Structure 1
Amino acid sequence: MSPLTPDLLARIRERAPGYDRENAFFAEDLDELRAAGYMAPRSLLDTARDQRLLAAHAPATALGINMHLVWVGVARVLHERGDSSLDWVLRDAEAGELFAFGNSEPGNDLVLWDSLTRAETVEGGFAFTGTKIFTSLAPAWTRLGVFGKQADGPDGPRLVHGFLTRDADGVTTLDDWDTLGMRATASNTTRLDHAVVSTERISRFLPVGPNADPFVFAIFANFLLLIGSVYAGIADRALELGVEAAHARTSLKTGLTSASDPDIRWRLADAALALDALAPDLETLAADVDGLVDHGGDWFRRLTGAKHRATETARRVVDQAMRVAGGGGYRSSSELARLQRDVLAGIYHPSDTESVHATVATNLLGPLP
């Protein structure tokens, strides 16, 4: 049974405009979701469905929560495949710890395949020095997943992944999140200056460059499918608002509502046709991850494709709803205007459009010579 009760969702939707207007973190939402047990480990399919529902009520809250749910999902995927290295993440999540992502870096278009952050061996662990951006949950996280490159690894340069605690020295959170949309995520920049991750919290040593380690697969599977679900939820709400607007607007020329206008009907039908394809796509892949289905070398093509289709479809659906709503939707107080701003963030999440097409081309044609 979903922890997202109608009363909880109603309160979350009511707070969303204020968070956006004030550029404020969704602290009350977080407290209520924690109390409801929403942060605990669950199947990827159940989590994806709930994230889509939550996003339809408060996109920024859903996107921020996503980062915690991804790490919990990574630990669960590894555990179900016989890898207990992140079982402590599951225990910490059950105990109320809040996980966040500290992977994105300015100027790093290789994402997980390389890092501009320096990792150095120190007594008791590794010290990380670098800048991380888009650190959602910045005001509240207690565990931050980070990675960096150790230049002098045993066999050459390698990537070191681990988790910082909130009280670690050398961690500075900037107050620099003032964006067009998704404002309540408080995805501030994080600066690391010799911030130490203890040895027992180092999660992986990986080679520089693409690889199919189960840890990487688990990140891709959870991140891409849950991100896609958030944007599908935005589209769900936009279509709902578009239908409401069509029934509410009346033509002075005909005396009929816009719901009787053939062009408006076509726009909403077009949006619905695109949106209807997302649930089978996202949910089938989530169920396949839960069911340990082996898609082999096709996994990354399928996962990046699902995220791409969801974010692009969501932008199209919101655009159609804005056209149906007319000038009223352009007001800053309009929920549709907020959805229009929020949905644009989808183009910035990995994997971006260029990377997706490169992944699919490599799957079809092999690597470039």
Structure 2
Amino acid sequence: MHQHIVAANRYNDLHGRPGRAVLEKVAAAELVLVSTGAGDWLASNGCLERVDGGFSLSAVKHFASGSPAGDILVTSAPYEDPEQGWQVLHFPVSLKAEGVTVLDNWYPLGMRGSGSNSVKLENVFVPESSIALRRPRGDFHLIWSVVLPVALPLIMSVYLGVAREAAARARQRCAASRDPVTPYLLGEMENALTAAELAVDSMILLMDEFGFEANLDTVNEVIKRKTIAAEACKLATAKALEACGGPGFMRGNGIENLFRDVMASHFHPIQEKRQHLFTGSLAMGQQPPRQAF
């Protein structure tokens, strides 16, 4: 689900940008990369202070999926440059570095197995040589035109799998039902599942085996499909649970946990209302909205 850091570097390498070095390091040492991009988004969070040879970083990074088993935190933080003003700096940090703590705080409604524990960084040294990117804080940047198109098909494929499994379990459980309402509920479920499949398949086609153009148009098309897929996956799973009646609500019958898991699909960037704002702004010929900080 969270292989998009590798995927983004693969895209960059194929298109003549820096990326191969990261791929080679990951392959050689079998590294697990942990992203904080979803929580940081355009403005990022934390505090960077200039020190000899680099920066001192203090922050708490939430939704760092895979952090309990991770090797490298691929993260960012804001920095007020005395000449250029507020920027966001992107860099890697070893999860074994001094001052880095993976918190025991991942107790969500669903997706409990993703290990998206927060990571606390206290006065962690970030060498100047580790800074991979500087960008204006709060503005949409080209980096997201690479990350979102490769990330969202991977992420939404997981939720589509959840919806498919819920539908399969509902079909099996409801096969002998004599309730006249059950076929209607299963019909709604099937329609929603088809909508989710079409949206995810379309996202994958847009990615074009890493051949897509990294621009606003591509991002806009992908995030629209993400919203459609997320809502359809949630509806399909909800209808699967509803079709099973009261037993579907009970633990042990194999659907209530899938219902909890699929609800997390909403929270991946760009969330529905933010996607509406982004897409609507482009439809009006405007630039993507900034993130306040």
Letter aligned with residue 266 of structure 1: G
Is 1:97 the counterpart of 2:31 in the alignment? Answer: yes
Please report the RMSD computed on the Cα atoms of aligned residues, expressed in angstroms.
Answer: 2.3
Question: 202, 206, 210: which is aligned to 1:285?
Answer: 206
Consecutive unaligned residues of structure 2, counting only runs of 5 or more, are: none
Q: Distance in 2 between matches of 1:232 and 1:153?
A: 47
Partner of 2:105 in structure 1?
176
Q: Distance in 2 between matches of 1:144 and 1:153?
A: 27
What TM-score, normalized to structure 1? 0.72
Q: Distance in 1 between matches of 2:103 and 2:13?
A: 35
- Indicate if the aligned counterparts of 2:249 and 2:256 stay in contact, CA closer than 8 A: yes
Displacement of 1:278 in angstroms is: 2.5
- Indicate if the aligned counterparts of 2:72 and 2:93 stay in contact, CA closer than 8 A: yes
What TM-score, normalized to structure 2? 0.89
Displacement of 1:209 in angstroms is: 2.6
Consecutive unaligned residues of structure 1, counting only runs of 5 or more, are: 1-65, 106-110
CA distance 1:121–1:363, shift in 2 (3 Å): same
SS in 2 for 1:88: helix
Letter aligned with residue 122 of structure 1: V
Q: Distance in 2 between matches of 1:296 and 1:103?
A: 18
Is 1:250 the counterpart of 2:183 in the alignment? Answer: no
Partner of 1:112 in structure 2?
41
Is 1:350 the counterpart of 2:278 in the alignment? Answer: no
Matches within 5 A, 1:87-236: 87-95=20-28, 96-105=30-39, 111-152=40-81, 154-213=83-142, 215-236=143-164
SS in 1 for 2:67: coil
Q: Distance in 2 between matches of 1:118 and 1:128?
A: 6
Question: 162, 165, 168: which is aligned to 1:240?
Answer: 168
Q: Distance in 2 between matches of 1:182 and 1:174?
A: 17
Q: Distance in 1 between matches of 2:122 and 2:37?
A: 15
- Indicate if the aligned counterparts of 1:267 and 1:324 stay in contact, CA closer than 8 A: no
Q: Distance in 1 between matches of 2:42 and 2:64?
A: 19
Letter aligned with residue 246 of structure 1: C
- Indicate if the aligned counterparts of 2:145 and 2:216 stay in contact, CA closer than 8 A: no
- Aligned-pair identity in percent equals 25
- Indicate if the aligned counterparts of 2:186 and 2:243 stay in contact, CA closer than 8 A: no
Specify which structure has the higher proportion of helix: 1
Q: Distance in 2 between matches of 1:334 and 1:284?
A: 35
